[in-house]
A and B are shown apart, each in its own frame.
Chain A
Amino acid sequence: MLIDFRAVPADTRIEADVCVIGAGAAGITLALELHASNLEVCLLESGGVQFSPETQDLARGVSFQVGWPYQKLEATRIRTFGGTTTVWDGACVPCTGIDFEKRDWVPHSGWPITRASLDPYYTRAEAVCELGAGEYGAELWGRFGQPSDAFDRDKLDVRFWRYSPTRFGARYGDEIRRSKNIRLYLFANVTHLRANEAGSAIDEIEVETLDGNRGTVAARAYVLATGGIENARLLLNASDVEPAGLGNRHDLVGRYFMEHSYYQSGFLVSEDLERLMQRYDHMQRGPLHVLAGVRLADSVQRRERTLDCCSLLDDRFHRDNPGVIATRRILQDIRYGQMSPELGNKIYDILSNLDAVLMAGIGAAVHGDSRHYEEKGVPVFTQAEQAPNPSNRVFLEPERDPLGLQRVSLDWRLGELDRRTIEVAVKQVGSEFARLGLGRVRIADWTLEADDSGWRSGLHWGHHHMGTTRMSDDPKTGVVNADCRMHSVHNLYVASSSVFPTGGYANPTLTIVALAIRLADHLRSELASRAVDLSGSDRGSAGALRG
């Protein structure tokens, strides 16, 4: 059932078994996993079905340049039904086993759960993301009739990204509309997490629309699913009971923010680039869409004491100028029936680069492909895990948004281990590609420079926000436990990459979805087995609106 919260009578009190805050990949997955149960689910979404600049502005940060320059915060997440999957490119790959380990050379590393324990949830997540069978290794080349490159397994590990076609809002919207026990409220912004006097449970949450309609939600369990920045922001803003923010007794909420750095680490030249790129560019056949990468093998990570990372041959930054990128984005949005964010800027980019747009269009029309490779060469990019660092953090600023919540800033930077990881990776890639006669690599200039200027200016990132409510068995080192439940707030859970203690190199969505499924299983079990609800008062399975 879909409800516009603006039309709900003022001061309505909604009751549910589970209240999920945020209808992106995590929130939608969690709600749908609970659909088959008898639990009443209240799913709150800040935006509507269509993109709205006014709602998006609620995500605006005050400063995104406290540490290293970063993207404007409001440009890194989409506040609409479906969340950022409305614009994502769909890249999915599971984290690897080493990502979950406590590595003595990576401070603050180690999950309280293993990769193996997540395996069944990854399988279910692949179905949710419509990825097909879970192959990610060199065997995928065979599916496209391509030979496998025989890399030394102690150096490089072939690892594919698989691309999900799933826009969660568009794909699962009808299912949610038809559901009798999921109520999706649009334009419902959570303005306060109201805790009991001890700060040990949520009593209710306050909801408000941008046009001033207010209400509350009371549930047996609450789940924050608003992403790595907004989850922390909501907790830090809930400071009436605990001045430092709800669940923040150990000053961990908002800290350990992590991203995936994405650097041009080198440039590969090859005498037969076209043939090489047949297996290192995007490959698509029917619903199967993949991209090959070469990951730094576990043995190298252990020996060289690096982070996890994966390199790929990526000529996007060569073949695409801003006009071509803008055109592609608009076409993609049209295909999914959505209003394109920042449409004016995109049109400006197109008009400013009309020649390139036309050439790409002609290329696509004549050759079926707008791509072309620079003569004999293609950039090598490396997507890397970031070392967790408590100084990298989201923090509250005095400025408030129109609903009265304090806005946030991000203080974020990379460190020496992050840099060294990429240097080690590109040398391994260069060695192995040369050994196999695939091409020769010139490593990027910034790796040869003593100062940080090139290292800082060459940074791209994945728009992946991780770590601000990290998972740990110990309340002193983590905000949530292995069940994704807040250590100090026993009916409040988190479904997001914000629980990642470390991020691996893998794009996080598949793991987010896997963890959301796992959390749904936990909630089903927990709520079914408890006669008394998690917040301490027995409401049973309720779904009534009380105006």
Chain B
Amino acid sequence: MHTMPRRVFLRGVVRVLVCTGLAAACGLARLRGRGGAVSELKGRLSRMFSDPEQARAVGMAYLARNPEGRRQASALAAALAAADPDRPDELCALLRRRREGDFRADRIVVLDGWILSATEAHSCALVSLL
């Protein structure tokens, strides 16, 4: 079985995942209500991530192993989009809370052996889908 190298995980998740999630949240929030915004969001996220390709690789790996991944990523996007677009700090806090809540409630995803919170996995999936 092909396994995800530590370098990919580290750069894709450990260093940037929280930023990724937060950035995605901020980006989604700002773009809420604007049609045809996907390409703009994609560009914005790419600029925000320190290594968006690695985060995307994690997301693709997750989606390849989890048929439900797309729906879960969409649900995350919807949850983020429901937040106040003018309060990016609030969005960041929301993501942190979701991540912490996942770990506390054992909502974890094991991806090639790496342990992620569900929110982290869904954030990466979202990035890879954009």
**B106 located at the interface, meaning its Cβ lies under 8 Å from any Cβ of chain A in the complex:** yes
**Binary flags per residue of A160-182, CB closer than 8 Å to B gives 1, else 0:** 00000000000000000000000
**B34 located at the interface, meaning its Cβ lies under 8 Å from any Cβ of chain A in the complex:** no
Chain B residues, CB < 8 A from A447: 113
In the complex, number of A-B residue pairs with CB atoms less than 8 Å apart? 57
Chain B proximity of A377: nearest CB distance (Å): 7
Q: Which of B43-101 contact A (CB under 8 A)?
A: 99-100
Contact A269 B14 (CB under 8 A): yes
A269 to B100, CA, bound (A): 19
Chain B residues, CB < 8 A from A377: 6
Chain A residues, CB < 8 A from B106: 427, 431
Chain A residues, CB < 8 A from B99: 435
**B110 located at the interface, meaning its Cβ lies under 8 Å from any Cβ of chain A in the complex:** yes
Chain A residues, CB < 8 A from B6: 267, 269, 377, 442
Which residue of chain B has its CB nearest to the CB of A376? B10
Task: Choose among A152, A435, A445 the residue with the greatest number of B CB atoms under 10 Å from its CB.
Answer: A435
Q: Which of A178-198 contact B (CB under 8 A)?
A: none
Contact B103 A432 (CB under 8 A): yes
**Binary flags per residue of B87-125, CB closer than 8 Å to A gives 1, else 0:** 000000000000110011010101011111100000000
Chain A proximity of B36: nearest CB distance (Å): 36
A440 to B58, CA, bound (A): 14
A432 to B106, CA, bound (A): 10
**Binary flags per residue of B2-44, CB closer than 8 Å to A gives 1, else 0:** 0100100110011100000000000000000000000000000
Contact A442 B114 (CB under 8 A): yes
**A354 located at the interface, meaning its Cβ lies under 8 Å from any Cβ of chain B in the complex:** no
Contact A434 B113 (CB under 8 A): no
Contacting B115 at CB < 8 Å: which of A152, A430, A445? A430
**A444 located at the interface, meaning its Cβ lies under 8 Å from any Cβ of chain B in the complex:** yes
Q: Which of A51-92 contact B (CB under 8 A)?
A: none
Chain B residues, CB < 8 A from A444: 113
Which residue of chain B has its CB nearest to the CB of A267? B6
Contact A427 B115 (CB under 8 A): yes
Chain A proximity of B65: nearest CB distance (Å): 12
CB within 8 Å for A431 and B100 given contacts A269-B10, A269-B14, A442-B9: no
A435 to B118, CA, bound (A): 12
Contact B14 A430 (CB under 8 A): no
Contact B10 A435 (CB under 8 A): no
Chain B residues, CB < 8 A from A442: 6, 9, 112-115
Contact A435 B110 (CB under 8 A): no
Contact A434 B103 (CB under 8 A): yes
A377 to B6, CA, bound (A): 10
CB within 8 Å for A435 and B14 given contacts A430-B108, A443-B115, A445-B113: no
Contacting A427 at CB < 8 Å: which of B14, B100, B104, B108? B108
A434 to B99, CA, bound (A): 10
Chain A residues, CB < 8 A from B104: 152, 155, 435
Task: Choose among B6, B9, B100 the residue with the greatest number of A CB atoms under 10 Å from its CB.
Answer: B6
Contact B115 A434 (CB under 8 A): yes
Chain A residues, CB < 8 A from B9: 269, 440, 442
Chain A residues, CB < 8 A from B110: 427, 443, 448
**A252 located at the interface, meaning its Cβ lies under 8 Å from any Cβ of chain B in the complex:** no
A205 to B63, CA, bound (A): 70
Which residue of chain A has its CB nearest to the CB of B112? A442
Contact A443 B113 (CB under 8 A): yes
Chain A proximity of B31: nearest CB distance (Å): 29
Q: Which of A425-443 contact B (CB under 8 A)?
A: 427, 430-432, 434-435, 440-443
A434 to B9, CA, bound (A): 13
**A240 located at the interface, meaning its Cβ lies under 8 Å from any Cβ of chain B in the complex:** no
Chain B residues, CB < 8 A from A152: 104
Q: Which of A359-397 contact B (CB under 8 A)?
A: 376-377
**A271 located at the interface, meaning its Cβ lies under 8 Å from any Cβ of chain B in the complex:** yes
A440 to B99, CA, bound (A): 14
Contact A271 B113 (CB under 8 A): no
Q: Which of A420-477 contact B (CB under 8 A)?
A: 427, 430-432, 434-435, 440-445, 447-448
A155 to B106, CA, bound (A): 10
Which residue of chain A has its CB nearest to the CB of B17? A440
Chain B proximity of A78: nearest CB distance (Å): 39
A377 to B7, CA, bound (A): 11
Chain B proximity of A16: nearest CB distance (Å): 58
Contact B14 A440 (CB under 8 A): yes
Contact A431 B14 (CB under 8 A): no
Chain A proximity of B77: nearest CB distance (Å): 23
Chain A residues, CB < 8 A from B100: 435
Contact B117 A434 (CB under 8 A): yes
CB within 8 Å for A440 and B103 given contacts A269-B14, A376-B10: no
Contact B113 A431 (CB under 8 A): no
Which residue of chain A has its CB nearest to the CB of B13? A440
Chain A proximity of B29: nearest CB distance (Å): 24
Contact A448 B113 (CB under 8 A): yes
**Binary flags per residue of A17-51, CB closer than 8 Å to B gives 1, else 0:** 00000000000000000000000000000000000
Contact A440 B113 (CB under 8 A): no
A377 to B115, CA, bound (A): 15
A448 to B13, CA, bound (A): 21
Chain B proximity of A428: nearest CB distance (Å): 8
| 10 pairs from A and B in contact (CB 8 Å cutoff) | A269-B6, A269-B9, A431-B103, A432-B103, A434-B116, A435-B104, A440-B13, A440-B115, A442-B6, A443-B110
Residues of A within 8 A of B (CB): 152, 155, 266-267, 269, 271, 376-377, 427, 430-432, 434-435, 440-445, 447-448
In the A-B complex, the 10 residue pairs with the smallest Cβ-Cβ separation, listed nearest first, are A430-B115, A435-B103, A442-B113, A431-B103, A443-B113, A442-B114, A440-B14, A441-B115, A431-B108, A435-B100
Residues of B within 8 A of A (CB): 3, 6, 9-10, 13-15, 99-100, 103-104, 106, 108, 110, 112-117
Further 9 A-B residue pairs, CB within 8 A, beyond A271-B15, A427-B108 = A430-B115, A431-B108, A435-B117, A442-B113, A443-B115, A444-B113, A445-B113, A447-B113, A448-B110
